[in-house]
Amino acid sequence: MSKAQSSAAAQKTAGTDKREVILTAALDLFRHYGYRRTSMEDIARAAAVAKGTLYLYFKSKDELFEAICRSLAEQVGEGVARAEALDLPLEPKLTALMEAKLGFVYRWILSSPHAAELVDSGSRLSEDVFGEVYDRFYNAVRHLVRGGVASGELDLNAVGLTEEATVDALIAAAYGAEKAPDEKMFHARLTAIIKLTLRGLRA
C-alpha cells in the first residue's frame, strides 16, 4: 500500500473513529457517573477532543445520548435476529432469545450503578429507538409459544391464560432477572425463571 493510500485510509478511519471514540467515551462515563453527573467537558476530555468537537458530531448532549441508544438498540436487534435464526428446541431457544435481548441490555446498561437514570433519560426515546427491536423480540417469543402449543408441548389452558397474556408474563418474568447484582446472578436467575415459567406452561 502506498503512503498516500495508507494516509487516506488512516484519515478516513480517524474521521469515522472520532465519532465512535466519543460514543464509547460517553457511554463509559454515563455508566460510571450517570447522565447528569457527566458533563460535556468530561466527555470531551475522555475522548481527547475539544468540547466544541462534540458538537460537530452531535447537536446536543441529548442527541449524543440518543445516538448511544440507537447504537445499542441496533446491536440488540442484531442479536435477537441471530437468536431467531437458531434451530433449537423450545427452552434453549427461548433462553437464547432472552439472552440476546435482556443479556445485552444488562451488560451495557443495567450493570451500571446508574442504570435507572440512563433508562429514564432514554425513556422518551424508548418508543422510537427501542420500539422496533422490542416488537421483533415480542413476536419471536410469541411465535415460539404458538409453536409450543401447536406441538402439544405447552398448554395454556392449564393456567387459564390467553396467548398474549402468556407471552406478556413470560417476558415480564424474565425482565425480573435484570435486577441481579452481577452478570452471573443475572444468568442464573434468567435460567431459573425460564425453567420455572415454562414448566408452569407444560402440558
- For 154, phi and psi rounded to 5 degrees? -115, 155
Q: What is the CA radius of gyration of the chain?
A: 21
Give whichever of 59 and 143 is closer to DNA, judged by the CB atom: 59
Among 20, 120, 132, 163, binds a copy of itself (CB under 8 A): 120
For 189, the grid coordinates are 436467575
The item of a copy of itself, DNA, none sharing an interface with residue 34, based on CB under 5 to 8 Å by kind, is: a copy of itself
Q: Is 176 in the site for a copy of itself (CB under 8 A)?
A: yes
Cβ 158 to a copy of itself, closest distance in Å? 7
- Residue 64 CA to residue 38 CA, distance in Å, equals 12
Burial bucket for residue 118 (CB in 10 Å: 0-12, 13-18, 19+):
buried
Interface residues for DNA in 52-81 (CB under 7 A)?
Answer: 52-57, 59-62
Closest to 109 (Cα-Cα) out of 69, 159, 162, 80: 69
Cβ 118 to a copy of itself, closest distance in Å? 8
Interface residues for DNA in 149-188 (CB under 7 A)?
Answer: none
Beta-bridge partner residues of 154? 202
Interacting residue ranges for DNA, rule: CB under 7 A: 7, 11, 14-15, 18, 36-41, 48-57, 59-62
Interacting residue ranges for a copy of itself, rule: CB under 8 A: 34, 36, 113-121, 123, 158-161, 165-166, 168-177, 179-180, 188-189, 192-193, 195-201
